[in-house]
Amino acid sequence: MTAIFLAFSLTPNVSHTEQHHVAPVRFHPSESPAPKVWLVERKAGLEIYSNGLRIDDEFLTSTRTRSYHAFDRQTWRAAGGEARPAGIVFHTTESRMAPFEPSQNARLQYNGRNLLTFIAKNHLYHFVIDRFGRIFRVVAETDYANHAGRSVWADDRFIYWSLNQSFLGVAFEAQTESSDIATRAQIDAARVLTEMLRSRYHIPVADCVTHAQVSVNLQSMRIGYHTDWAANFPFREVGLGDGYSTPVAALTLFGFEYDSAFLEANGGRVWPGLVIAEEQLVQDAAAHGTTVDLYRRKLRQRFRDWKPDAGGSSADDMAGDR
């Protein structure tokens, strides 16, 4: 047992072992640069963009200016302070729904406005897309929002910890349980909003993810503490390729696991990204001459020793978790 532990080291400085340990993010042929989108007009609290996007600022609030460290994927070291949004996390509001019928107009409108008031008061997301596809900016893009709580993601270069600061939160007024989670208008709205945000902040496809892909529980060391968009996020229709195929960073980098409750939330389906992450773990363990269980244990130990919260994120990062 001791010999096995001594046989490999996961300290960030050892570049030789590091090469085995780091799983490359797999990009997809569908991945293309974001189309160029620009602001055409701003008047009376409404912005109109070149791709048809319209953003309503009626419920706009602010918190504090975004500030975070991205961590180098190879070394796990903080790679300088950042104020630019690095990615997007998609959510559902899980709020009260009325049937999507003409006769329900009054209830649909009432629910939407109630929801926006609540979200604005608690600074829960940067953007909300209501059932009719109207887009409301609720927290300023320059500020953090309380949308992701304990969460982690990584692209091929950086690890992002606590995405309230580093990622923008975009919520669909929707419930995961309903048969059609999003309306046609919401999907179209998400597409033009995503195009604009990717264009404005140079956000790669690989950093556009759902809450279920990034949410973690530190007590149980499991992913999927929040399960919104655990399945059925319309990645392709929003112009984001096949997002569920990206290996889940918490599994490959930190040794997190998932349980049957999480798979249930996925509708019994296992994402390709979970399978690829598991395969990567098997390969990495073999490369270190150890078993998957022992390798995962070492990853977890390294994660506990990492203490990314010490790297400049504020207490606000921990507050929100929707």
User: Nearer Cβ to Zn ion, position 34 or 193?
Assistant: 193
- Listed ranges 31-39, 126-134, 223-231, 236-244: which one lies at the site for Zn ion (CB under 5 A): 223-231
Residues 6+ apart with CB under 8 A from 298: 5, 8, 10, 255, 290
Does position 302 interact with Zn ion (CB under 5 A)? The reply is no
Sign of CA dihedral 106, 109, 110, 111: positive
User: Nearer Cβ to Zn ion, position 11 or 217?
Assistant: 217
Q: Which of 261, 283, 284, 279 is nearest to 215 (CA)?
A: 261
H helical segments located in the chain:
2-7, 15-21, 105-122, 163-166, 184-201, 211-214, 249-254, 260-265, 272-287, 292-306, 316-319
User: Nearer Cβ to Zn ion, position 92 or 290?
Assistant: 92
Name beta bridge partners: 158: 72
Residue 280 CB, shortest distance to Zn ion, in Å, is: 26
- Listed ranges 95-103, 254-262, 279-287, 314-322: which one lies at the site for Zn ion (CB under 5 A): 314-322
Residue 304 CB, shortest distance to Zn ion, in Å, is: 25
From CA 161, how far away is CA 250, in angstroms rounded? 10
Residues 32-91 that bind Zn ion (CB under 5 A): 91
Residue 322 CB, shortest distance to Zn ion, in Å, is: 5
Among 126, 131, 134, 322, binds Zn ion (CB under 5 A): 322
Using only C-alpha atoms, what is the Rg of the chain?
20
Residues 84-123 that bind Zn ion (CB under 5 A): 91
User: Nearer Cβ to Zn ion, position 119 or 276?
Assistant: 119
Q: 243 and 276 in contact (C-beta within 8 Å)?
A: no
User: Nearer Cβ to Zn ion, position 195 or 228?
Assistant: 228
Q: Count CB neighbours of 322 within 10 A.
A: 23
Q: Which of 120, 144, 173, 90 is nearest to 318 (CA)?
A: 144
- Listed ranges 25-33, 123-131, 207-215, 248-256: which one lies at the site for Zn ion (CB under 5 A): 207-215
Q: 322 and 91 in contact (C-beta within 8 Å)?
A: yes
User: Nearer Cβ to Zn ion, position 131 or 226?
Assistant: 226
Residue 166 CB, shortest distance to Zn ion, in Å, is: 15
- Listed ranges 69-77, 227-235, 259-267, 285-293: which one lies at the site for Zn ion (CB under 5 A): 227-235
Q: 69 and 80 in contact (C-beta within 8 Å)?
A: yes
Among 228, 278, 284, 317, binds Zn ion (CB under 5 A): 228
Does position 317 interact with Zn ion (CB under 5 A)? The reply is no
Residue 320 CB, shortest distance to Zn ion, in Å, is: 10
Indicate the SS3 state at residue 182.
Answer: coil
From CA 161, how far away is CA 178, in angstroms rounded? 31
User: Nearer Cβ to Zn ion, position 199 or 266?
Assistant: 266
Among 150, 191, 211, 298, binds Zn ion (CB under 5 A): 211
Distance of CA 1 to the CA centre of its chain: 37
Give the pair of three-digit tokens for residue 73. 């994927």
User: Nearer Cβ to Zn ion, position 75 or 178?
Assistant: 178
User: Nearer Cβ to Zn ion, position 108 or 209?
Assistant: 209
For Zn ion, the binding residues (CB under 5 A) are 91, 211, 226, 228, 322
